[in-house]
Amino acid sequence: MKKIFLSLLTLLTLQTAFGQSADEIVNKHIEAIGGADNWKKMNSLVMEATMKAQGAEIKLTRTHIHNKAMRMDIAVMGMNGYQILTDKAGWSYMPFQGQTKAEPMTADDIKTSQDQLSILDEFITYKDLGKKLDFIGKEDLEGTECFKLKLTDKDGQEVTFWIDPASYFTLKQSQKIKANGKEMESVTTFSNYKKTEEGIVYPFTVSADWGESEITKLTFNSKIDESLFKPSN
Amino acid sequence: MKRNLSILLIMLTTSLFAQTQVNSGMFGMLEARQMGPGTMSGRITSIVGVMSDPKIIYVGTAGGGVWKSSNAGTSYKSIFDKYCQSIGAIGISPQKPATVYVGTGESNMRNSVSIGNGMYKTTDGGDNWKAIGLDSTEHIAKIIVHPSNDQIVYVAVPGPLWSDSKHRGLYKTSNGGETWEKILYHDEKTGCAELLMDPKNPNILFASMWQFRRQPFSFNSGGEGSGMYKSTDGGLTWKEISNGLPPKPFGRIAMALAPSDSRKMWAIVESKNTGLYISDDGGESWKNQSATMNVCARPFYFSTFEVDPKDPKRVYRPGYEFAYSDDGGYSFSGASSDGGWVHSDMHALWIHPDNTNILYLGTDGGIYKSIDKGISWSFTHSLPVGQFYHVSHDLQKPYNVYGGLQDNGSWKAPSAAPGGINNAHWQRVGGGDGFWTVPDIDGKTVYVEYQGGNMSRVNMTNMKSEEIQPKQTNKEEKLRWNWNTPIVTGAANPKNLYTGSQYLYKSTNQGRDWTRISGDLTTNNKAKQQQDESGGLSADNTSAENHCTIFTIAESPLDANTIWVGTDDGNLQVTTDAGQSWKNISTNYAVSGIPAGTWISSIEPSHFDKNTLYVTFENHMYGDHTTYLGKSTDMGKTWTRIQHTEFTGFAHKICEDPINKNLLFLGTEMGLFATLDGGTHWFRMKNNIPEYALVRDIKIHPTTHDLIVGTHGRGIFIVDDISAMRNLTAEIWNQEVYLFPTPQITLNNGLYGWGGPEVSGGWYAGNPSSVPSIDYYLKDRVNTGKVSIDIYDANQVLIQSIPGSKRKGINKVYWNLRSNPPKVAGGSTKIDGAGFTAPMVLPGSYTVKLRVKDQEYVSTIQCVHDDANNDLSLADRKLVYNKAMQLQGLYNHLNVDIDTIQYYKTKLKADSNNKANKAMLADLEKIRAELMATKQTSLFADEEKLREKVSQLYGSFCNMEAKPNEIQLKAIEALDEQYKQLNLKLNQTLNKHLPKINL
């Protein structure tokens, strides 16, 4: 009798689970991805990934010192390009687009990209960064009813997150970037979550308009040569 | 007790599962293509810009939701796809411009106007919306947000068009929509149609009240309830204004005040002598100004009057035509025709607050922008908000879609074309208000019509048309043609052509001759045939109120002698002897709970059983918005009413899949719904289709299996190939993973070539995929672990691995019918195309392995030669393939050599001061510079060396769909020879230097 009652209760609880607050969702999310303590131990990251397009492979390498600098190297068809972002500057060298030397990012682009310098999950840092958290409600994401949360920074830059109510993983993120007088939207979806040796749970597959990339190697806290964060040409 | 609880638990669980088994999310990957077009657009009801950032503009439409431009109209984005699509008004908070209020339910009260379901609010510029009440108001005319408090909002509500209602009047909220107070109300027949606020004193408000009513057969604008009111205390108290106005009764009153001098006001007052009135004292007294045709025309429909924000003399009357005045409305001039015709029938005008030369105009045919104060206009081609009534298709390859639109004629466009469908592919085939547009089976004839049954047969080879509407003969009553008269071809015998007034007509020679095959099939109620009296204070009788007419005709697909007819006054009639005798079965459906006297909006005789039919019934013109769908399995003797909690909106169309009898689609005023189990469980279709789209017509193409949806406000949607919906059975959806069999694939590069770049500035609908998809079903989204599709050849060699989507429900992955492309050596100075391509596989059997986490699911794809391509025999195909592979081999060898050089270069550079190293480096670089382009310094300075030549020829062979010519074949040999020489040179160089080098 008690068991049945409890089962009923569970059912009802499931029904009302969506009533929980933004803070509760965020806490469960942080717990699901390994906990803030584990994340906060990370100060650098080197990620190797592969993107496949019609059988062709593009190699991506992200080298990143937390809150200081990041570099993304892209190897396509025997050519190598990169993007560099630091807390003060940024460059882009995309020879596949015809560039012959690194071109500087605009001040607006540097400013609006600063969030990317953090290697931590946004929900671990948002309070410290003074961002506003809004719980928009439930929303269907490709058949999965997700929690929809939005973070807005002091400059009005917005990132919206769709969080799976079963796993509390972020399934999708949409960032509105207002820079250089225009507004752009960048949408990314995440899957293939895996727990690393460091105890953090990371999405090893990331998809965007341009394709899907899969992480082949992820290293935290290795020593990084800071000369990488200056353009080499 | 214990047992009862267990049963309760099981029931609860079962019902939860039952509801979650099949839902729209399962079919999200069957994304509809929004065909648009933007060539002709649809009715625009509201245009409002952000005063502090005027490049941000919100546009409300009659049936296409809300669109936002962040670049002064260069492009627009739909931001209201999850909500009611009929928009009455938009109000932006001047204080916090990201706070926007939208009132649903258009207030241009024509016969075909849609309804809304209340107020919505966003606080983030349209990303997220919340319903905030007034959900029974049906129509909203105006919203004004207090200039310094975004929580105070006034909403003018005309209210329901077809019934009495208390939900009318002027509403106010002081808490951002949490609660509403009715601050001006007259009676259940009179609503609030206009609202103004003095920009200098937000406590001063003006409102006009309007008494109006439609019935299915008449319209009345005007009555004692209509009047003009003023408040000076933020709406707490009101006084009626009459000084200088004409004698009552009034109809609809449009009003405006000059933002630069709010004492100056204008009002178009509908009365027995409709005219323009002006006031110089803040509305206290009025005098008659002028009464041009354009000022007075159709006041119930044209209720817009605007004043330049800076110049009180410059006023605008967007109405039947566009007119402007430089003398405060004493005299008017019309817009120039330079730049082309501006669509008539205007309902919205927004003037840039700083640069008042810039105007945005909303018409029945879309948006126009002017940069010279409305003298000339340019059309916005990118708003796909056309209001279709019906759609049809032919059987050509690719097939064409046809349809007629509100105030925008009839059109035709291919479903696919080289480069994808854009505005330029649309061809006008008829004028007026377009309705049924139906191709004949002969492939060159189309039947078109405009309002009131004016129908023609169009010869598509020269676009000449012949009028074919049957005429009244001596012994007949005056013919009554519905505004939206049916003209349809037979489902069993497509050479049969039918149309109907109150009588049904049949032609077997394309409308050259007609035979009347029925008596009056309507109720012939004379009380509903007084259309000459329609309009109220202003006569308005445009065939829109014609009644007691035939509205629906359907020949059974199983028997050409069985014809079903539905009328606008509730009669459902059937003949089984091609019209010799008729049976009225309207009393039968009423037994199932469907009201008598409804419009019979669609009839779908079953493709599987002659006795079975589905019918939609539509009663909104009597104030009833219920979704009525009935099914009979005994020729209409008895009926089952099909209901579902998901349904919203009155029903326009029921469509049965011709292959799977359990798959049905229902289109209503607020959504497209589908069932996979014959009508027990339904779900809303959301796959790139607005969730509350006004769905007027649905067709399923018999050969491509495409779902074609005609909407009244968002153009046409095509869901390419719905086979996955047909094939998804309960047996499958209960499995964790299911890999569907992939149909046989014909090997070609698709139906079309490139077709040029996407055209700028218009609406682009793309093409269906050129290759069939590999479909699989996932019971749940895969968040941990990988999903991939691996393709193996007959020797079980892995030829390509494709990342798989991971969504719940049907997933689609497209294999490009090729193996992996070759690897490209490093050190390139430009992109090498060969690294992206491989030859198309040869005919044969290929294995598909779907991997989900650690499980594997296997199926087979048969790829066959394209016999339809006369340029490429099977032998040619093999030759092309072998030559492409030979080139790929050559390319690979070449890259090995380049990599070898790179390898030694890296080693040698470690000690580059060494003389021997230097010498070897120099020699290697010379060879490398012959093997590949190394010197290119700019995108615009091409350099071509051996690798570039091999890559180019390899690319040609990979995409070849014709027999190669001799020169192409010889070119391979020449490149091969060049490579051999360079390879020899490399080996000689290595042999020469390596003994001297210490690596």
Q: CATH number of the domain that B188 lies in?
A: 2.130.10.10
When scoring B15, B74, B806 by the number of chain A Cβ atoms within 10 A, the one with the most, hence best to mutate, is B806
Nearest residue of B to residue A158, measured between CA atoms: B124
Number of domains in chain B: 3
- Strand B695-700 to A144-152 pairing: unpaired
Mean pLDDT of all residues in B28-45 = 95
Whether B566 has a pLDDT exceeding 50, the answer reads yes
> With an 8 Å Cβ cutoff, are B786 and A96 in contact?
no
User: B852 or B23: whose pLDDT is higher?
Assistant: B852
Helix (H, G, I), strand (E, B) or coil at B622: helix
Do residues B782 and B853 make contact, with C-beta atoms less than 8 angstroms apart? yes
Confidence of residue B20 (pLDDT cuts 50, 70, 90): very low
The pLDDT value given to residue A8 = 42
Q: Is the peptide bond before B54 cis (omega within 30 degrees of 0)?
A: no
Residue B466 corresponds to which tokens in the numbers above? 């012949």
Do B786 and B902 fall within a single domain? Answer: yes
Question: Does residue B938 lie in a domain region?
Answer: yes
pLDDT digits (tens, 9 = 90+) for B663-716: 999 999 999 999 999 999 999 999 999 999 999 999 999 999 999 999 999 999
| The residue type at B341 | W
> Whole-angstrom Cα distance, residue B610 to residue B479?
31
Question: Does residue B160 lie in a domain region?
Answer: yes
> Whole-angstrom Cα distance, residue B830 to residue B471?
72
Mean pLDDT of all residues in A125-137 = 95
Q: What share of chain B is helix, strand, coil (3-state, %, to 5)?
A: 15, 35, 50
Do B916 and B872 fall within a single domain? Answer: yes
- State how far the alpha carbon of B777 is from the alpha carbons of B538, B731, B748, B804, B808, in Å: 59, 12, 27, 11, 7
> With an 8 Å Cβ cutoff, are B939 and A8 in contact?
no
Whether B809 has a pLDDT exceeding 60, the answer reads yes
* Alpha carbon of A52: minimum distance to chain B alpha carbons (Å): 7
* Alpha carbon of B25: minimum distance to chain A alpha carbons (Å): 4
Mean pLDDT of all residues in B952-973 = 97
Residue B439 corresponds to which tokens in the numbers above? 């191709």
Nearest CB neighbour to B803, from listed A52, A140, A194: A52
Do B484 and B442 fall within a single domain? Answer: yes
* Alpha carbon of B827: minimum distance to chain A alpha carbons (Å): 6
> Whole-angstrom Cα distance, residue A179 to residue A190?
25
Whether B16 has a pLDDT exceeding 70, the answer reads no
Nearest CB neighbour to A136, from listed B71, B128, B825: B128
Whether B254 has a pLDDT exceeding 60, the answer reads yes
Which ipTM value was assigned to this complex? 0.90
What does residue A31 show for φ and ψ, rounded to 5 degrees?
A: -60, -45
Element (H, E) at B724: helix B723-727
Question: Does residue B752 lie in a domain region?
Answer: no
Whether B618 has a pLDDT exceeding 70, the answer reads yes
Last residue of one domain, picked from the residues B724, B759, B790: B724
| The residue type at B135 | D
Q: What is the 3-state secondary structure (H, E, C) of B566-595?
A: EECCCCEEEECCCCCCCEECHHHHHCCCCC
Do B773 and B800 fall within a single domain? Answer: yes
> Whole-angstrom Cα distance, residue A183 to residue A181?
7
Do B356 and B478 fall within a single domain? Answer: no
Nearest CB neighbour to A55, from listed B6, B832, B838: B838
> Whole-angstrom Cα distance, residue B848 to residue B774?
9
| pLDDT-wise least confident of A181-185, B383-387, B592-596, B876-880 | A181-185
- Tell me the pTM: 0.95
Question: Does residue B10 lie in a domain region?
Answer: no
Nearest residue of B to residue A1, measured between CA atoms: B2
pLDDT digits (tens, 9 = 90+) for B113-154: 999 999 999 999 999 999 999 999 999 999 999 999 999 999
Nearest of B126, B178, B184, B186 to residue B155 by alpha carbon: B184
Residue B644 corresponds to which tokens in the numbers above? 């579902």
Q: For chain A, which residues make up each domain, given as ranges?
A: 21-229
Confidence of residue B21 (pLDDT cuts 50, 70, 90): low
Nearest residue of A to residue B11, measured between CA atoms: A8
Chain pair A-B, CB pairs under 8 angstroms = 131
Do B716 and B781 fall within a single domain? Answer: no
> With an 8 Å Cβ cutoff, are A142 and B808 in contact?
yes
* Alpha carbon of A75: minimum distance to chain B alpha carbons (Å): 9
> With an 8 Å Cβ cutoff, are A78 and B802 in contact?
no
Nearest residue of A to residue B807, measured between CA atoms: A142
* Alpha carbon of A110: minimum distance to chain B alpha carbons (Å): 22
Nearest CB neighbour to A191, from listed B783, B816, B939: B783
Do B344 and B405 fall within a single domain? Answer: no
Do B346 and B433 fall within a single domain? Answer: no
Which string of b and e fits B129-150 if b means at least 16 CB within 10 Å? beebbbeebbbbbbbbbbeeeb
* Alpha carbon of A68: minimum distance to chain B alpha carbons (Å): 30
Q: B465 forms bridges with which residues in the sheet? A: B458
> Whole-angstrom Cα distance, residue B899 to residue B890?
14
Q: What is the share, in percent, of chain B residues with pLDDT greater than 90?
A: 90
Cα separation of the two ends of chain B: 88
pLDDT digits (tens, 9 = 90+) for B166-217: 999 999 999 999 999 999 999 999 999 999 999 999 999 999 999 999 999 9
What does residue B112 show for φ and ψ, rounded to 5 degrees?
A: -95, 10
* Alpha carbon of B153: minimum distance to chain A alpha carbons (Å): 22
What does residue B266 show for φ and ψ, rounded to 5 degrees?
A: -135, 150
Last residue of one domain, picked from the residues B705, B724, B743: B724
What does residue B70 show for φ and ψ, rounded to 5 degrees?
A: -105, 10
Nearest residue of A to residue B28, measured between CA atoms: A142
Do B337 and B404 fall within a single domain? Answer: no
> With an 8 Å Cβ cutoff, are A55 and B16 in contact?
no
**Residue given tokens 């509390």 in the structure block:** A168
Q: From the centroid of its chain, how far is CA A31?
A: 17
Considering Cα of B659, then B663, then B667, then B672, what sign does the dihedral take?
negative
- Please state at what angle helix B946-958 crosses helix B966-993, rounded to 10 degrees: 140
Confidence of residue A192 (pLDDT cuts 50, 70, 90): very high
> With an 8 Å Cβ cutoff, are B686 and A194 in contact?
no
Nearest residue of B to residue A205, measured between CA atoms: B786
> Whole-angstrom Cα distance, residue B483 to residue B542?
8
The pLDDT value given to residue B541 = 86
Whether B7 has a pLDDT exceeding 70, the answer reads no
Chain B residues inside the 8 Å CB shell of A142? 25, 28, 781, 807-809
The pLDDT value given to residue A12 = 41
> With an 8 Å Cβ cutoff, are B783 and A164 in contact?
yes
Nearest of B358, B359, B233, B226 to residue B300 by alpha carbon: B226
Which string of b and e fits B732-761 if b means at least 16 CB within 10 Å? ebeeebbbbebeebbbbbeeeeeeeeeeee
Q: Is the peptide bond before B398 cis (omega within 30 degrees of 0)?
A: yes
> Whole-angstrom Cα distance, residue B932 to residue B934?
6
- HSE of B328 in the Cβ direction (CA atoms, 13 Å)? 17
Considering Cα of B352, then B355, then B356, then B357, what sign does the dihedral take?
negative
Q: B466 forms bridges with which residues in the sheet? A: B457
DSSP string, B424-482: GG-EEEE-SS----EE-TTSSEEEEEETTTEEEEEETTTTEEEE------TTSPPP---
Mean pLDDT of all residues in B390-419 = 97
Chain A residues inside the 8 Å CB shell of B782? 191
Do B365 and B400 fall within a single domain? Answer: no
Residue B680 CB neighbour total at 10 angstroms = 11
Element (H, E) at B565: strand B559-567
Chain A residues inside the 8 Å CB shell of B5? 1, 4-5, 8
* Alpha carbon of B643: minimum distance to chain A alpha carbons (Å): 23
Whether B829 has a pLDDT exceeding 90, the answer reads no
User: A178 or B497: whose pLDDT is higher?
Assistant: B497
> With an 8 Å Cβ cutoff, are B16 and A11 in contact?
yes
* Alpha carbon of B936: minimum distance to chain A alpha carbons (Å): 10
What does residue B174 show for φ and ψ, rounded to 5 degrees?
A: -115, 5
Nearest CB neighbour to A55, from listed B24, B26, B821: B821
Mean residue pLDDT across chain B:
95
> With an 8 Å Cβ cutoff, are A55 and B808 in contact?
no
- HSE of B463 in the Cβ direction (CA atoms, 13 Å)? 8
Residue B371 corresponds to which tokens in the numbers above? 């940069």
Whether A166 has a pLDDT exceeding 80, the answer reads yes
Nearest CB neighbour to B28, from listed A136, A142, A192: A142
Confidence of residue A182 (pLDDT cuts 50, 70, 90): confident
Do B185 and B202 fall within a single domain? Answer: yes
Residue B186 corresponds to which tokens in the numbers above? 């007259």
> With an 8 Å Cβ cutoff, are A78 and B825 in contact?
yes
> With an 8 Å Cβ cutoff, are B803 and A214 in contact?
yes
Residue A15 corresponds to which tokens in the numbers above? 């029904």
> With an 8 Å Cβ cutoff, are B828 and A77 in contact?
yes
Residue B232 corresponds to which tokens in the numbers above? 């000076």
pLDDT digits (tens, 9 = 90+) for B236-253: 999 999 999 999 999 999
> Whole-angstrom Cα distance, residue B185 to residue B162?
18
Nearest CB neighbour to B828, from listed A5, A56, A78: A78
- Strand B487-489 to A182-195 pairing: unpaired
Chain B residues inside the 8 Å CB shell of A136? 128
Do B236 and B218 fall within a single domain? Answer: yes
Mean pLDDT of all residues in B743-772 = 90
> With an 8 Å Cβ cutoff, are A54 and B2 in contact?
no
Whether B635 has a pLDDT exceeding 70, the answer reads yes
> With an 8 Å Cβ cutoff, are A193 and B783 in contact?
yes
Helix (H, G, I), strand (E, B) or coil at B784: coil
> Whole-angstrom Cα distance, residue A214 to residue A205?
4
The pLDDT value given to residue A17 = 44
Nearest residue of B to residue A135, measured between CA atoms: B128
- Domain around B851: 769-993
Do residues A74 and A95 make contact, with C-beta atoms less than 8 angstroms apart? no
> Whats the size of chain A, residue-wise?
233
Q: What is the 3-state secondary structure (H, E, C) of chain A?
A: CHHHHHHHHHHHHHHHHHHCCHHHHHHHHHHHCCCHHHHHCCCEEEEEEEEEECCEEEEEEEEEECCCEEEEEEEECCEEEEEEEECCCEEEECHHHCCCCCEECCHHHHHHHHHHHCCCCHHHHCCCCCCEEEEEEEEEECCEEEEEEEEECCCCCEEEEEECCCCCCEEEEEEEEEECCEEEEEEEEEEEEEECCCCCEEEEEEEECCEEEEEEEEEECCCCCHHHHCCCC
> Whole-angstrom Cα distance, residue B872 to residue B281?
83
The pLDDT value given to residue A11 = 40
CB contact set of A128 (below 8 Å; sequence gap of 6+)? none
Question: Does residue B537 lie in a domain region?
Answer: yes
> With an 8 Å Cβ cutoff, are B9 and A11 in contact?
yes
Nearest residue of B to residue A14, measured between CA atoms: B16
Confidence of residue B761 (pLDDT cuts 50, 70, 90): confident
Do residues B279 and B322 make contact, with C-beta atoms less than 8 angstroms apart? no
> Whole-angstrom Cα distance, residue B776 to residue B194?
54
For chain B, give me the number of helices (H) and strands (E)? 9, 68
Which fold does the domain A21-229 belong to in CATH?
outer membrane lipoprotein receptor (LolB), chain A (2.50.20)
Helix (H, G, I), strand (E, B) or coil at B12: helix
